[in-house]
Amino acid sequence: MNEDRVVIIGGGVIGLCSAYYAAKRGFKVLLIEREMPGSDNCSMGNAGMVVPSHFTPLAAPGMMAKGLRWMFNPESPFYVRPRVDFGLARWGWLFYRHSNERHVAASRELLRDLNLESRRLFTELAADEDFGLVKRGLLMLCKTQKGLDEEAKVAAEAHEISLRAEVLNPAATALLDPAITMDIAGAVYFPDDCHLSPERFMASIRRRFLEAGGVIESGVCINAIETRGGKVVAVKGDVRRFEGGQFVVAGGSWSANLLRSVGLRLPLQAGKGYSLTLPKPPELPELCSIFAEAKVAITPMDGILRFGGTMEVGGLNLSINPARVRGIIKSVNAYFPKFSLEDFEGVKPWAGLRPVSPDGIPYLGQVPGLPNLVAACGHGMMGLSLGPVSGRLVADLLAGDPPFRPIEGLSPGRFG
């Protein structure tokens, strides 16, 4: 029966980190992944940012109004593809219900603590093996005075919860990152943010997991969870069945479909994001940054430069929408005037699906009614940033150890 085995479903950053920390804790761990080794899952092509600055959940005041405005612009940062789907309607209603100041106030310390602890764990991991971790902060670049005023309010809120943030004029911003020419009204600097190479980090965690005795089954699509006597006994793919004593669903955007087989209707939507990576950019910044108004993330990685953005809610669909890609490219010259459209000629866009909860808070905890099943998904745009802390929390749950802080707000059953 393999009752001493932990079976983890999902080979992205959350699944891999969960597998690594569980194996490090002494568990016998089997990791099952849909893709073959080296495949471009959602953890590979992202912006590689570690973001304590992101303490405001996606469901925040003003997001509904912005989303409705952006819906009519094919190149905008946000789009929901209209379709007849009860799950999407429920998700949208819950998103609306949580887009208020009360939810932000109740969530910001939780998101702060998760990201700061994850940053500490990244630092700990980087001490053993280099994966390009750069701890020099993040610049929120504002093209307009209105944008700078809005970000200055975020900086003030950061100070309220003891996070460092500094509002800068263009000259002070240029002193922090003199390698890049910027056309901006100013910036907010978050010194505790970091960036890294997602590909190198994923390879490092995978290697550490295998060295700790972990086993990986690749190219296996799990589509059912088998229960008996109020417990999970196995997970099943098309022709294979895997038994264990404890189970973790960390399948990203595919997690909701799988958890539905045990009666948990998890509100979760796939938010497609795109990135473009320039191997020889005309200028290479030293800090990671975000174009505040355009919602585009920029990260230098080992001599290359990655631009990532958009949130396109349209189901489990990885097709490339050229208009969304154009929106990212057209924003670059506005902030970085030494860049042109020609710099992106021949650059192949990458797309990945982020699992987005309606309140902007991850799902991490025991599935109601099944004591040996843990859900770890719904991290949205913070999957990479929250990878290590999520993995360690999963290992705590498997071992029955108390977490480093209360995590009731992450409960997979919080929406009933």
User: With 70 as the cut, is the pLDDT of residue 38 above it?
Assistant: no
Decide if 247 contacts 372 (C-beta within 8 A).
yes
Which class for 94: exposed (0-12), middle (13-18), buried (19 or more C-beta within 10 A)? middle
Higher-confidence position of 321 and 232: 232
Distance of CA 198 to the CA centre of its chain: 11
Average pLDDT, the chain: 94
Mean pLDDT of 214-239: 95
As its CATH architecture, domain 5-410 has 3-Layer(bba) Sandwich (3.50)
Q: Which of 203, 216, 210, 193 is nearest to 140 (CA)?
A: 193
Query: In 3-state terms, what secondary structure has residue 399?
Result: helix
CA gyration radius for the chain?
21
**What per-residue confidence (pLDDT) applies to 36?**
80
Specify whether the backbone of 213 is left (phi greater than 0), alpha (psi in -120 to 50) or beta: left
Q: Which of 5-19, 70-84, 114-128, 176-190 has the lowest mean pLDDT?
A: 70-84
Q: Residue 72 has what pLDDT?
A: 65
* Residue 63 clears pLDDT 80, i.e. is over it: no
Contact indicator for 142, 151 with CB cutoff of 8 Å = yes
328: helix, strand or coil: helix
pLDDT band at 73 (very low <50, low <70, confident <90, very high): confident
Q: What amino acid is encoded at 267 in this protein?
A: P
What does the alpha-carbon distance between residue 367 and residue 412 come to, in Å, rounded to a whole number?
A: 6
Residue 353: band (very low, low, confident or very high) from pLDDT cuts 50, 70, 90: very high
Q: How far is CA 334 from CA 181, 251, 330, in A?
A: 11, 37, 8
Q: In sequence order, what are the residues at sequence separation of 6 or more whose Cβ sits closer than 8 angstroms to the Cβ of residue 135?
A: 123, 194
CB atoms within 10 A of CB 172: 13
Does 250 have pLDDT greater than 80? yes
Length of the chain: 416
Phi, then psi, of 284 in degrees rounded to 5: -125, 105
Bridge partners (DSSP) of residue 8 are 31, 248
- Looking at the chain, the number of H-run helices and the number of E-run strands are 10, 20
The whole-angstrom distance between residue 153's C-alpha and the CA centroid of its chain comes to 24
Would you say residue 42 has pLDDT above 60? no
pLDDT value of residue 313: 86
Q: Summarize the confidence of residues 120-130 as an average pLDDT.
A: 97
From the list 310, 412, 297, 295, the residue with the least C-alpha distance to 361 is 412
pLDDT digits (tens, 9 = 90+) for 131-154: 999 999 999 999 999 999 999 999
Confidence category of residue 281, pLDDT binned at 50, 70, 90: very high
pLDDT given for residue 39 in this prediction: 63
CA distance 29 to 268: 26
Q: Which residue has the tokens 């590979």?
A: 44
C-alpha–C-alpha distance, residues 290 and 147, integer Å = 12
DSSP 271-293: EEEEEEEESS-SS--SSEEEETT
